[in-house]
């Protein structure tokens, strides 16, 4: 089992979709939401994902392909 901590930022168009549900169901990832702010037109979540490494990578890729921004909790680690 591997773990990763990420911050998801949802564009307005995706707010109404069951993204997190699909992540759990289709990728067999256990999620643990620690902090979130989701309203009608924006949303972010700080959460922990747990699953096997391949599943996490595929899950993160799927999120990005859907248009969800996936950042580490620290957000920009690369500093100019």
Partner 1 sequence: MEKLNGLRCRECGRHYPAAPVHVCEFCFGPLEVDYHYDALKGVVTRESIAAGPPSMWRYRDLLPIEGDAAVGHHVGFTPLIRAKNLADELGCREVWVKNDSVCHPTWSFKDRVVAVAVTKALEFGFDTVACASTGNLANSVAAHAAEGRLKSYIFIPADLEQGKILGTLVYSPTLVAVHGTYDEVNRLCSEIADKYRWAFVNVNFRPYYSEGSKSYGFEIIEQLGWRTPGHIVVPCAGGSLITKIWKAIKELKTLGLLEGPVRTKMHAAQALGCGPIVTMIKNDTDVLVPVRPNTIAKSLAIGNPADGYYAYKTTKESGGSGEHATDEEIIEGMLLLARTEGIFTETAGGVTVAAAKKLIERGVIPRDESIVICVTGNGLKTPDALQDRLQTHAKIKPSLSAFDRALAELKSQTS
> Where on the chain is the footprint of ligand PLP (CB under 6 A)?
79-80
Span 27-46, contacts to partner 1 by CB under 8 A: 34-35, 37, 39, 42, 46
Please report whether residue 52 would count as binding partner 1 according to CB under 8 A: no
| In the complex, minimum distance from the CB of residue 73 to partner 1, in angstroms, rounded to a whole number | 6
25 binds, among partner 1, ligand PLP, none (CB under 5 to 8 A by kind): none
Q: How far is CA 18 from CA 1, 21, 80, in A?
A: 24, 5, 35
User: Which residues are near partner 1 by CB under 8 A?
Assistant: 4-6, 9, 34-35, 37, 39, 42, 46-47, 60, 64, 69-80
């Amino acid at each position: 089992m591997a773990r990763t901590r990420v911050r998801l930022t949802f564009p307005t168009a995706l707010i109404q979709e069951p993204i997190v549900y699909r992540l759990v169901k289709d990728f067999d990832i256990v999620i643990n939401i620690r902090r979130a702010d989701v309203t009608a037109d924006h949303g972010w979540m700080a959460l922990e994902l747990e699953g096997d490494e391949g599943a996490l990578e595929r899950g993160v890729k799927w999120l990005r392909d859907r248009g969800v921004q996936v950042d580490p909790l620290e957000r920009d680690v690369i500093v100019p």
